[in-house]
A and B are shown apart, each in its own frame.
Chain A
C-alpha cells in the first residue's frame, strides 16, 4: 500500500510559527475546559462533597471500565453565555462492561443540575448521537428540573427529551437511569421514561410535585420520602427497579444492568490492521497554517492520523485542490475528502461527487477534513457551471448513506461548509481544531462586501460616501464575524461536538468509527437527480 511521505521540519520558521499559534489557541480552549471541570465553582463543589457525594465526572469515572477511553462531548457548551460552561451536564461516550454507551451526568454543583436552554440543546444532540449510533444510554441523574427563570425557552421544546428516551427504547436501545439525588417535576420523567431505574436509599427523590407544590395544589401535608423516596419507589410505587445502598452501589448496579443487556454490535468491526501512523502526531500542532489564508497540505495531517500512514489517493491529478482517497483508522476503512487549496472548483466538485458515490457503493464511511473558503466565484466559473457542480457535490453529500465524520482543521466558509459536510449535513460527529473558523464568508470579505454594496448604493443615489464611517463599519463587522466564526463560539452553540487537540485526532476518529460500527454500514445505491 502506498505510504504517505510527510517530512516536516520542526525547526523551520513556518512550523514554529504555526505551532506557536496552535498552542495559543489550544491554551485558550484548555483554560475553558478547566473552567468546565470546575463545575459550579469551589463553594458548590465543596458543599456537594460535604454531603458525601461524588462529582459528576467522578461518577462517570467510576461507571466506566477501568483504563477504557472516554470521549467527552460538547464539554464547552454554553461557553460565553450567561450559563456555566458545560451547560450543567457532563456527557460523552465510554465503555461500560465492554459496551460503548452514551453516558451523561447532571452536574449538581451548577444550579442544582438544573436544565437551561443550552443543557437542552446538548441533551438533544446526545439523544441524536445515541439514536444514530445505536448506543445504550446511561443517565446519572441529579437535577432540579428546568431552570425556572428560563422556562419559556425550555418548557415547550424540552418535552422532546422524554419523547427521545422512549423512542430510543422503542428502537431497542436500552436506557438506564441511576438517580443520585433530586429528579423532580419534569425531571422525574427522565427516570420515568427509562427502561432501567436504580435509586439510592435515602438519596434519590423522584416526584412530580414536592411537599410545597402538593400543599399548594391539594392542601395535603406530605414529606419528600413518602412522595418520592427511593425506598417508597422500590417497595410501593415500583418506579425503582433496584435499590442501592449508596452511590457506589448504584454505579455497581448500573454496570450490572449493562452486563446483562446481551449487547452486540452488528457492525462489521475493524477489517484492517490498525497500525500506528509512521509520523509523530505531535507535529500536528505545527501543520495547520497560523494564517488561514495560507493553504496547507492535508496529507501531512493524514500521515499522522491514518493507519500506517497508508493512503490510496483517488484521482490525484484531477481537481488537485481537493484530496480524495482511501485509508483506515484503528482498522476501520474510511474514504477521505480533504481540502488542499481551499477553493472548490468544478473539477473538485465532480471528483468529490464521484468519490462519495464510490464510498456508498462499497459501504465505507467518509471523513471530511474541512479547510475550504467555498466554491469558486467569478464569471468564468459561473459560466462553466460551478452552481451545477457544487449542487452535485451537495446532492451527493446529502443523500450519501454511509456515516460521515467531519473535522474542521482550518476554514469552513460558505457553501464549502455544506459540500464538506457541515453540521446541517448531519455528520455522525463533527469536531473542530482550536485554530478553525467557520462562517458564511471570511470577516474581511464580508465587511468588504457590505462596504462595496454601501458605496454602490451611495453612488446610485448621488450621495457622498462617508469613508470614515465605512472604515468604522468595516472594523466593527470584521470583529463581530471573527468572533462568531471562532471555535469556542461555535462549540458553545452545539455547532460541533467539541474542540479537539489536533494530536488527539486519530484517537477521537478511531473512537467515533468504533461507535458508528454499532450499525452495519450500508451506502445508498440511488441518488437524487444529478444536474449535469
Chain B
C-alpha cells in the first residue's frame, strides 16, 4: 500500500498525478526548484521539499536529492511523471535501493528501451517491424571523425534477420546512400526531437551527425546517434499499454500524434482517424507482444510510424506515462494514474481494464508559451492571466495559473487542453472554441496556430501526417487571429477601459463626466502600440457621461458605437454588431480578448522619461537565457545579418544578428552570463549611407 507519494516532477503532470493520488487517499509530496517555489503544484501538495537552484541539472534531474526528499518526507513511493528522470533506470534503481516503490516499469526494462538502438534490435527480434539502421559508434559525436557505423535490420530485409555493415569514416555517406536520401539522424537516447536531424545531401551529413551528437550529449548525457531512412509523410500512431506484476499486459487502443512541430507532438487524439479495426487489432496486438517480450510492467507506450502504404514500423517504447494520456482517458473513462498506482502497489489489473470500453473521440493540444511565427521561440515571462473556459467535454490540465512565472528553465508547455466529442469533428470544434475564448496574458502562445489546425480542412478530413507543419507555414497558421482592424478596435476598447479606470480611481471630481470641458477644444486621446504601427485613439464623452464619438488614427468612426465601458469590459457596436471585449490592464500592457481575437497593447506614455529610449543600433536579448557565444569585439565592423551573440534558452540556440551594418561600440555581456529578455547586449554604430 502506498500512503505517501513523492511526485518527482513539476508543472501540469505533477498536479495531474496528485489529483488521482489524492482521490485515492494518498498524501503527496512535491519537489520544487527555486523558480517553482510558488508554483501551483507546490500549493496543491501536502508537503514540499525544496530543491536549491533552477536548472533541471541542479534540481529535477538530481536523483540523489529526490530520493533523499522521499526519505525525508516519509514517502513510500515515487512517481516520476514524464520527462526528467522518468526514463532513467538509475533513478528507478536508486528508488528501489532506498526501499521506495518506483511507479514505473523495472529498471532493466527502462534500460532496455532507453537506447533506441538496443530497443530496435530487441523488437526486431520479437518480430516487430523496424526500419533499417546505420549505427554510428559512440565518440563520433564529439567531432567530425565519424569513423564507422552499423546497419541493422530493415523493413525489406527484416525477414532475413538483422544484417550488419561496419563502416569506416568514408563509408558513412555510402551507408546513408544505401538507406536512401534523405536520411534521418537520431539520438539513441533521444526523445522529443532533440538530437534529430533530417539530412538531404551527403555533404551535410557529417555536420548534422556532429551537431545532433552534441545536442544529444547536452540533453541526455549520451551522444550516440544513428541513421534511419527518412520516411516522408508518415503518421505517428502509438499504442497505450498497461502491464501488471502478475504477467498481464493489455492495450488501451491507439493514439495518433501526427501533428508535430520540430518532432514534438502538439496535437494528439484517440482514436486515430485512419486506423481501421483490422489495423487497430494488428497494431495493438503487436504492441502487446512487444511489451510481453520485455516483461513490461506499468503504463507505457509503443510508438509506431504508420507509413502511407498502410504498413507500420516500430519507433520506440516510452516506459512512462505519456503527455497525451488524457485522450485515452477520455475515450475509455479510465484513470491511468490510478492504474499506475494500483499496479505499483502490486494489484492485478482491474477487470474494467481487461476489456476496456472505447467511446467517442478525444483530441488534446499542447498549449505552449512559444511563438510559431518566430521559429517557435519560447516565450518566458509573467503569466498575468491564464483562463481556459472549461465546460462540458473540455478538460484542462495546466501547470500554471494567473500570476505564474513561465520560467526559461523548463519546457514552455502551459497546459494541455483536451476535448471530448461523440465524433472527431465535434471534439475538434469544441476544443477550438475553448482555445479561442481562452485568456492567456503575458506570454506569446501557439494558441492561434492550434485553433487554425483544428479548423483546417486537411486536419478535419483526417489527412494528416508528421509533415503537416512543413506543408503549412507555421508563420501563417500561427499568425495572430487579430487583424490590424481588430487591433484598432482593441486599442479603442483599451483606451475606454483605461479612462473608466482613471475615472473610478480619481481622488477628486470623480462624479463628473469623463473629460468634461465647458470649452471643448480636442478629443480625449490615448495611443497604443501592438504588433503594427502606433494606434492613436480619440474619444469624447458627453455631459451625460456617454461616449458619443470616437476616432481611430484621426479618422472619425461613425460606424462604432460605444455601448458600455468599464475598467475591465467594453462593449462596442461595429456596424450594428455588438462585441464584448474583456480588458485586462497590467502595468504597461493591456490585454484585450474579444470574439475577433486577442491582443496585447502597450500604451504609449504621454511623456517619455529622459534616458528611457534605447540608442539606435542597440540590440537586446530577445528572450531570457544564457549567453553561449559572443562573436564580436568592440571595434569590429559587422554587416547586416551577422551573428553577434548567441543565447541558449530551452536547449536551443538563438542568434542575435545585426539588423544594420556598422561598428560594434559596446558589448554588455560575456559568454556564460545569464540574461533576462530585454537586456542590452550590444550597441552598434550604424554605418552611414556613404560609409
Task: Select B515's contact among A69, A98, A503, beta carbons within 8 Å.
Answer: A69
Task: Select B512's contact among A245, A251, A252, A511, beta carbons within 8 Å.
Answer: A511
Cα of A72 to Cα of B499 in the assembled complex, Å: 21
Cα of A113 to Cα of B326 in the assembled complex, Å: 75
A69–B522 CB distance below 8 A: no
B610–A245 CB distance below 8 A: yes
Cα of A148 to Cα of B648 in the assembled complex, Å: 71
B146 within 8 A of A: no
A507–B516 CB distance below 8 A: yes
- Evaluate whether A62 and B511 lie within 8 angstroms (CB atoms) in the complex, with A37-B521, A500-B518, A503-B543 already known: no
B507–A67 CB distance below 8 A: no
Write the nearest CB–CB distance from B232 to chain A, whole angstroms.
59
Cα of A69 to Cα of B519 in the assembled complex, Å: 11
Cα of A245 to Cα of B525 in the assembled complex, Å: 23
Task: Select B514's contact among A36, A67, A71, beta carbons within 8 Å.
Answer: A67
Write the nearest CB–CB distance from B514 to chain A, whole angstroms.
5
Cα of A37 to Cα of B520 in the assembled complex, Å: 9
Residue of A nearest to B606 (CB): A62
- The bracket for how many chain B residues form the interface is 20 to 34
B residues less than 8 Å from A61 (CB atoms): 521-522
The CB with the most chain B CB atoms within 10 A, among A68, A99, A248, A274, is that of A68
A68–B506 CB distance below 8 A: yes
The B-contacting residues of A in range 63-116, CB under 8 angstroms, are 65-72, 75, 95, 98-100
B503 within 8 A of A: yes
B607–A69 CB distance below 8 A: no
Task: Select B607's contact among A33, A251, A508, beta carbons within 8 Å.
Answer: A251
Cα of A100 to Cα of B608 in the assembled complex, Å: 24
A510–B517 CB distance below 8 A: no
Cα of A98 to Cα of B508 in the assembled complex, Å: 6
B278 within 8 A of A: no
A507–B512 CB distance below 8 A: yes
- Evaluate whether A95 and B509 lie within 8 angstroms (CB atoms) in the complex, with A67-B499, A248-B607 already known: yes
The CB with the most chain A CB atoms within 10 A, among B507, B516, B519, B524, is that of B519
- Evaluate whether A75 and B519 lie within 8 angstroms (CB atoms) in the complex, with A66-B499, A67-B524 already known: yes
Cα of A454 to Cα of B502 in the assembled complex, Å: 65
A33–B512 CB distance below 8 A: no
Task: Select A249's contact among B509, B513, B607, beta carbons within 8 Å.
Answer: B607
B residues less than 8 Å from A252 (CB atoms): 606-607, 609
- Evaluate whether A71 and B518 lie within 8 angstroms (CB atoms) in the complex, with A66-B526, A507-B513 already known: yes
A68–B543 CB distance below 8 A: no
Task: Select B519's contact among A36, A58, A62, A331, beta carbons within 8 Å.
Answer: A36
A504 within 8 A of B: yes
Residue of B nearest to A329 (CB): B511
Binary contact readout A235-279 vs B (1 if CB under 8 angstroms, 0 otherwise): 000000000010011011001000000000100000000100000
Residue of A nearest to B523 (CB): A61
The B-contacting residues of A in range 481-532, CB under 8 angstroms, are 498, 500-501, 503-504, 507-508, 510-511, 514
The A-contacting residues of B in range 473-513, CB under 8 angstroms, are 498-499, 502-503, 506-509, 511-513
Cα of A98 to Cα of B122 in the assembled complex, Å: 76
- Evaluate whether A72 and B508 lie within 8 angstroms (CB atoms) in the complex, with A66-B502, A67-B524, A507-B543 already known: no
Cα of A99 to Cα of B525 in the assembled complex, Å: 21
B519–A72 CB distance below 8 A: yes
A69–B524 CB distance below 8 A: no
A69–B517 CB distance below 8 A: yes
B512–A330 CB distance below 8 A: yes
A residues less than 8 Å from B518 (CB atoms): 70-72, 75, 498, 500-501, 504, 508
The B-contacting residues of A in range 1-55, CB under 8 angstroms, are 33, 36-37
A58–B522 CB distance below 8 A: yes
Interface size, chain A (Cβ < 8 Å): 41
B512–A510 CB distance below 8 A: yes
Residue of B nearest to A75 (CB): B519
A281 within 8 A of B: yes
Write the nearest CB–CB distance from B326 to chain A, whole angstroms.
47
Cα of A498 to Cα of B514 in the assembled complex, Å: 21
A residues less than 8 Å from B498 (CB atoms): 66
Cα of A330 to Cα of B512 in the assembled complex, Å: 8
Task: Select B543's contact among A72, A274, A281, beta carbons within 8 Å.
Answer: A281
B residues less than 8 Å from A66 (CB atoms): 498-499, 502, 515, 524-526, 606
B residues less than 8 Å from A95 (CB atoms): 506, 508-509
Write the nearest CB–CB distance from B537 to chain A, whole angstroms.
12
B511–A331 CB distance below 8 A: yes
Write the nearest CB–CB distance from A491 to chain B, whole angstroms.
12
B610–A504 CB distance below 8 A: no
A341 within 8 A of B: no
A57 within 8 A of B: yes
- Evaluate whether A98 and B519 lie within 8 angstroms (CB atoms) in the complex, with A245-B610, A507-B543 already known: no
B517–A72 CB distance below 8 A: yes
A residues less than 8 Å from B516 (CB atoms): 69-70, 504, 507
Residue of A nearest to B506 (CB): A68
B residues less than 8 Å from A36 (CB atoms): 519
A residues less than 8 Å from B508 (CB atoms): 95, 98-100, 265, 514
Residue of B nearest to A37 (CB): B521
Cα of A75 to Cα of B526 in the assembled complex, Å: 26
Cα of A99 to Cα of B506 in the assembled complex, Å: 10
Write the nearest CB–CB distance from A263 to chain B, whole angstroms.
10
A residues less than 8 Å from B606 (CB atoms): 62, 66, 248, 252
Write the nearest CB–CB distance from B217 to chain A, whole angstroms.
54
B residues less than 8 Å from A62 (CB atoms): 606
Write the nearest CB–CB distance from A77 to chain B, whole angstroms.
12
B residues less than 8 Å from A503 (CB atoms): 543
A67–B521 CB distance below 8 A: no
B519–A514 CB distance below 8 A: no
A residues less than 8 Å from B607 (CB atoms): 248-249, 251-252, 255
B residues less than 8 Å from A330 (CB atoms): 511-512
B521–A249 CB distance below 8 A: no
A504–B543 CB distance below 8 A: yes
Cα of A57 to Cα of B523 in the assembled complex, Å: 12
Write the nearest CB–CB distance from A413 to chain B, whole angstroms.
26
A98–B511 CB distance below 8 A: no
- Evaluate whether A274 and B519 lie within 8 angstroms (CB atoms) in the complex, with A62-B606, A251-B607, A504-B543 already known: no
Task: Select A57's contact among B514, B522, B609, beta carbons within 8 Å.
Answer: B522
Cα of A71 to Cα of B512 in the assembled complex, Å: 11
A98–B506 CB distance below 8 A: yes
Cα of A68 to Cα of B515 in the assembled complex, Å: 5
Cα of A152 to Cα of B652 in the assembled complex, Å: 80
A residues less than 8 Å from B502 (CB atoms): 65-68
Cα of A265 to Cα of B522 in the assembled complex, Å: 30
Write the nearest CB–CB distance from B588 to chain A, whole angstroms.
16
Residue of A nearest to B539 (CB): A67
B519–A37 CB distance below 8 A: yes
Cα of A127 to Cα of B608 in the assembled complex, Å: 32
A residues less than 8 Å from B519 (CB atoms): 33, 36-37, 72, 75
- Evaluate whether A514 and B509 lie within 8 angstroms (CB atoms) in the complex, with A57-B522, A72-B517, A508-B518 already known: yes
A residues less than 8 Å from B507 (CB atoms): 98
The CB with the most chain A CB atoms within 10 A, among B507, B509, B514, B521, is that of B509
Cα of A55 to Cα of B516 in the assembled complex, Å: 19
A249–B515 CB distance below 8 A: no
Task: Select B509's contact among A58, A501, A504, A510, beta carbons within 8 Å.
Answer: A510
Cα of A100 to Cα of B510 in the assembled complex, Å: 12
Task: Select A68's contact among B509, B511, B526, B544, beta carbons within 8 Å.
Answer: B509
- What would 11 A/B residue contacts be, using CB atoms closer than 8 Å? A66-B498, A66-B515, A67-B503, A72-B519, A100-B508, A274-B511, A330-B511, A501-B518, A504-B518, A510-B511, A514-B508
List the 6 closest pairs (A to B, CB-CB), nearest first.
Answer: A252-B607, A69-B516, A72-B519, A57-B521, A67-B499, A98-B507
8 further A-B contacts with Cβ under 8 Å, apart from A66-B498, A75-B518, are A66-B499, A68-B502, A70-B517, A99-B508, A100-B508, A507-B512, A508-B518, A514-B509
Chain B interface (Cβ < 8 Å from any Cβ of A): 498-499, 502-503, 506-509, 511-519, 521-522, 524-526, 543-544, 606-610
